[in-house]
Amino acid sequence: MSQSRTFKATILAFAQGMATVAGLVIGAVLSRRFDYVDYATFRQTLLVFTVATPFLVMGLPQSLYYFLPTQKEHSRTILLNNLVLLGITGLAFSLFLILGGNWLLSQSFGNEALGKTLLILSPYSLFMIPMAAFAACMVVQNRVKQVAFFTTINRVLALVLVIAAVFIWQTPEAAVAATVVGAGIMFFPGIILMFRSTEGKIRHPSIDGLWEQIKYSVPLGAATMVGKVARSLDRIIVASLCSSEQFAIYTNGATRIPLIAAVTVSVASVLLPDVVRFYKDGKSNDAVRLWQSAAVKCSFIIFPVTCFALAMAPEIIACVYSDKYLKSAGIFRLYTLLLPSQICTWGVLFMAAHKGHWLLVRSIVGLGINLVVSLLLVHLCGPKGAVIGTIITLYAWNIGFNLIGIGKLYQLPISRVLPIKKIAKVFAFSIAASFVFVPELLFGQILPQNNWMRLAVYALLYSTIQIGLFIIFGVVKKDVIRKAVTKILSGRNGKSR
């Protein structure tokens, strides 16, 4: 029997959480070792790759969720075709940087040092773009534990190499070089694991096989591409229009909470194969119910974390990046307002219905709205205007499109797309538990000034009150919590409800 969805999502979430924590630790160390300019150079270098990645990947890894389950006997050939396409785009980006793209980008950001670090980064895409297929391939093959182990080792290695390089050479160039070396070390083990997980003889890539994946991936990839650019748009605008010091402060405030990223990525990876199967079998109602159930479960994590992060933003920023970046707390609070939208993995239902081009329309229009609104607000309000523009676009356009689109595809009224009553209960009790922070707002600091101690005490108080409210008012039953914890810890097989 296959492992339960809850167990698989938990394992993947742990690995994603470790990866995000490793990134935060790198940011924390570099914030303390570098001045504003050097820190901005390192973050801008990685921002370039982050923005380029969706253009290079073009949705190809997601196509494995669609093709591998239905053509198991040819899975190695399908994987090879996928890796060839990813390798070509990775090589193209490396050549772009080597042949002068590095200096073109450095001039766009107004940072000459960026030209050198981008040249050092040029081999990175040769390793990282093909490895974008790793999680999709392994999850489809039910190798979730291997994904978790590999991802954790990968990020820990990067963490060790970058920190060692920074302490020895203390330059952004050394930090970027260490990042590239770490990716190179993990490349071949990752390729070997992917081919070992698949079946069948390896055939030479064919034009028909490559074209089949391209046809499926391009609309979805274009939507993902535009969507990821939109998610990075605020940092691109700030990097282009503001000083290096303002960008350094902004980018630390624009921090994604590790737990949330881990949960959303993992849930999407686990849900997609099952939702696709339900839809292909004509069981669209089951696909929606599975998706809705995942949204409710995610809300139990995302809503409380949102409330806690809003209240404790200064302490979180000080602990991670030091008091030097306390100005980032305001940006962090604004960024936290984006979290509630992530209870749903919206794209899953569109992808299952083979409507990637709908996501493309949503993303292109959203990017245009975001660009206009953010540029206007940056001129009016400074750097924080970029994230305000992102918030407005997300809730005014993206969420509305998602609700209407899913309702039309699955023949549901908008009011029934989401399980509103269940989600509203979780949200209401998450806010109710936030009254634990009221005494400090009224009477000033009650707890000691040590930021780590304050975070620990308030996390304990808030979570205790939160869970207590959930149990007292019947939002969650004790037996459900006990069974879920037992299942996760034991890793038992079985069907997810």
CA torsion, points 430, 414, 399, 396, in degrees to nearest 10? -100
pLDDT of residue 213: 77
How does residue 127 score in pLDDT terms, banded at 50, 70 and 90? very high
pLDDT of residue 482: 65
Mean pLDDT of 416-444: 88
How does residue 496 score in pLDDT terms, banded at 50, 70 and 90? very low
d(CA 255, CA 497): 33
How does residue 390 score in pLDDT terms, banded at 50, 70 and 90? very high
Least Cα distance to 228 among 370, 349, 119 occurs for 370
How does residue 6 score in pLDDT terms, banded at 50, 70 and 90? low
pLDDT of residue 493: 44
State how far the alpha carbon of 321 is from the alpha carbons of 31, 151, 456, in Å.
6, 24, 17
How does residue 406 score in pLDDT terms, banded at 50, 70 and 90? very high
pLDDT above 90: residue 401: yes
SS3 assignment, position 254 = coil
Mean pLDDT of 305-309: 93
pLDDT above 60: residue 89: yes
CA angle 53, 95, 49 (to 5 degrees): 25
Structure-token match 């080792």, residue found: 153
Residue 92 structure tokens: 């193209």
Residues 6+ apart with CB under 8 A from 476: 300, 467, 470
Mean pLDDT of 478-492: 58
**Most confident residue range from 34-43, 57-66, 206-215:** 34-43
Residue 83 structure tokens: 């890796």
b/e per residue 86-102 (b: at least 16 CB within 10 A): beebbeebbebbeeebb
CA angle 451, 330, 442 (to 5 degrees): 60
pLDDT of residue 71: 67
pLDDT of residue 211: 77
Mean pLDDT of 380-404: 92
Residue 192: count of CB within 10 angstroms of its CB: 10
pLDDT above 50: residue 349: yes
pLDDT of residue 73: 67
CA angle 437, 438, 440 (to 5 degrees): 75
SS3 assignment, position 493 = strand
CA dihedral sign of residues 407, 412, 416, 417: negative
Mean pLDDT of 32-47: 89
**Most confident residue range from 9-18, 222-231, 244-253, 472-481:** 244-253
pLDDT above 70: residue 13: no
pLDDT above 80: residue 446: no
- The separation between CA 271 and the C-alpha centre of its own chain, rounded to angstroms, equals 16
pLDDT above 50: residue 427: yes
pLDDT of residue 8: 65
What is the amino acid identity at position 286? D
Mean pLDDT of 345-361: 81
pLDDT of residue 438: 85
Q: Which region among 16-30, 285-299, 429-443 has the lowest average model confidence (pLDDT)?
A: 16-30
pLDDT above 70: residue 155: yes
d(CA 469, CA 437): 16
Whether 151 and 18 have beta carbons less than 8 Å apart is answered as: yes
Q: Which region among 24-28, 145-149, 223-227 has the lowest average model confidence (pLDDT)?
A: 223-227
pLDDT above 50: residue 352: yes
Residue 75: count of CB within 10 angstroms of its CB: 22
Q: Which region among 181-185, 303-307, 361-365 has the lowest average model confidence (pLDDT)?
A: 361-365
CA dihedral sign of residues 96, 97, 102, 103: negative
Q: What is the pTM of this model?
A: 0.70
Residues 6+ apart with CB under 8 A from 414: 403, 404, 407
pLDDT above 50: residue 106: yes
DSSP annotation of 343: G
DSSP 300-334: HHHHHHHHHHHHTHHHHHHHHH-GGGTTHHHHHHH
d(CA 269, CA 139): 7
pLDDT of residue 120: 94
Per-chain mean pLDDT for the chain: 84
SS3 assignment, position 3 = strand
pLDDT above 60: residue 109: yes
pLDDT digits (tens, 9 = 90+) for 264-303: 666 766 677 778 778 878 888 888 888 888 888 889 989 9
Structure-token match 């992808």, residue found: 351
**Most confident residue range from 50-54, 234-238, 274-278:** 234-238
What is the amino acid identity at position 203? R
Least Cα distance to 102 among 173, 174, 181, 45 occurs for 45
Mean pLDDT of 81-96: 91
Whether 236 and 242 have beta carbons less than 8 Å apart is answered as: no
d(CA 43, CA 60): 26
SS3 assignment, position 203 = coil
d(CA 489, CA 479): 15
Regarding predicted confidence, which is higher, 486 or 157? 157
Whether 261 and 342 have beta carbons less than 8 Å apart is answered as: no
d(CA 335, CA 22): 20
Residue 160 structure tokens: 């060790």
pLDDT of residue 51: 84
DSSP annotation of 4: P
